Homo-oligomer: A and B are copies of this chain.
Amino acid sequence: MATLKIPHPVPSAAEDAEHLRKAFHGWGTDEKAVISILAHRNADQRKEIMATYEELYKENLIKRLESETSGHFERAMYRWMFGPGEREAIFANVALKEKVDWVVIIELSCINSPNELLAIKKAYQMRYKLSMEEDVASHTSGDFRKLLLGLVSTYRYSGEEINASLASSEAKILHDAIKKKTFDHDEVIRILSTRSKAQLNATFNRYKDEYNTSITKVLRNALNKSGTDEDSLTRVIVMRAEKDLLVIKEMYHKRSNESLDQAVAKETSGDYKKFLLALIGN
């Protein structure tokens, strides 16, 4: 369900490295050649190309790409080059350092499986020499800290077993907190940040049965919509192209009357546009 398209047969890492080197050569960069290679290799293949490139030409491919590209294209390409764990660690660090962009932190803690989140936290520690939890905690405060820190810290249970009576009692806690406005932040945060996905689904279904409204509807109305900027667009496409972007594309099309390709083509330009469209499988 990925959108990434890899040629058959795929060139060797040495061939790719050589073609990239040529694309960088002389005045100006052959961005088209760069995209035609790197937007069509998976994480393992990109890693091998990086190692081979460094071996052959004694320079770091990512640094060279940074000097050869600019703007949104540079940022997208830079993010694309890393494996999933390290890439999301970089996203998280940028989100925490520049301003606390909570959408990024919520996204990475909720979309990834517990073990994927753990891999991101390990990559974060390797790269920044401290834990993601420390950075989340020291850049936030109050209820907001409790929620974000809870989402990032918990190593959730990832199995399917659920407790039905718990689903019922916690649906009531959520209902009382939201509908009756006796807003008990601590309990809402506790439930959302510690329960497993399966248990939360059971609780939300129970909520729907019991109170005739879906909790996601309630929550969606309560959340501010953040405008779509290039950074989020890059983030979603780069993160999901090797994973489940095909499903996202289909859902996007159903909900918005235009295809994701059309929307991206309309909103972006230049090499950045070509690169994203290549990753989307256009």
Using a CB–CB distance below 8 Å, which chain A residues touch chain B? 118, 121-122, 125, 129-131, 133-134, 137-138, 141-142, 145-146, 149-150, 153-159, 161, 163, 186, 190, 193-196, 199
Given the complex of chains A and B, what is the CA–CA distance between A118 and B133 in angstroms? Answer: 15
Identify whether the interface residues of A are mostly helix, strand, loop, or mixed. Answer: helix
Given the complex of chains A and B, what is the CA–CA distance between A232 and B133 in angstroms? Answer: 31
Closest Cβ of chain B: how far from A137's Cβ, in Å? 5
Given the complex of chains A and B, what is the CA–CA distance between A223 and B247 in angstroms? Answer: 54
In chain B, what residue has the closest Cβ to A157?
Answer: B131
Decide if B133 touches A155 in the complex (CB within 8 Å). Answer: yes
Closest Cβ of chain B: how far from A163's Cβ, in Å? 8
Of the residues B130, B141, B145, B146, contact of A196 by C-beta under 8 Å: B130
Residue of A146, A161, A190 contacting most chain B CB atoms (<10 Å)? A190
Given the complex of chains A and B, what is the CA–CA distance between A137 and B153 in angstroms? Answer: 13
Chain B residues contacting A163 (CB-CB under 8 Å) are 130
Closest Cβ of chain B: how far from A113's Cβ, in Å? 13
Chain B residues contacting A155 (CB-CB under 8 Å) are 118, 121-122, 131, 133, 153, 155
Chain B residues contacting A161 (CB-CB under 8 Å) are 129-130
Given the complex of chains A and B, what is the CA–CA distance between A133 and B154 in angstroms? Answer: 6
How many copies the complex holds: the figure is 2
Given the complex of chains A and B, what is the CA–CA distance between A130 and B134 in angstroms? Answer: 25
Given the complex of chains A and B, what is the CA–CA distance between A118 and B163 in angstroms? Answer: 24
Decide if A194 touches B134 in the complex (CB within 8 Å). Answer: yes
Decide if B190 touches A159 in the complex (CB within 8 Å). Answer: no
Decide if A131 touches B196 in the complex (CB within 8 Å). Answer: yes
Given the complex of chains A and B, what is the CA–CA distance between A129 and B158 in angstroms? Answer: 9
Of the residues B129, B153, B156, B186, contact of A141 by C-beta under 8 Å: B186
Decide if A125 touches B186 in the complex (CB within 8 Å). Answer: no
Chain B residues contacting A141 (CB-CB under 8 Å) are 186
Given the complex of chains A and B, what is the CA–CA distance between A156 and B157 in angstroms? Answer: 19
Q: A141-B186, A186-B141 are in contact. Are A194 and B133 (CB under 8 A)?
A: yes
Chain B residues contacting A131 (CB-CB under 8 Å) are 154-157, 194, 196
Chain B residues contacting A190 (CB-CB under 8 Å) are 137-138, 145
Residue of A137, A150, A156, A163 contacting most chain B CB atoms (<10 Å)? A137
Chain B residues contacting A137 (CB-CB under 8 Å) are 190, 193-194
- Could you show 28 A-B contacts with beta carbons less than 8 Å apart? A118-B155, A121-B155, A125-B159, A129-B157, A129-B159, A130-B157, A130-B163, A130-B199, A131-B157, A131-B194, A133-B153, A133-B154, A133-B155, A133-B156, A134-B157, A134-B194, A134-B196, A137-B190, A137-B193, A137-B194, A138-B190, A138-B194, A146-B146, A149-B150, A150-B153, A153-B153, A153-B155, A155-B155
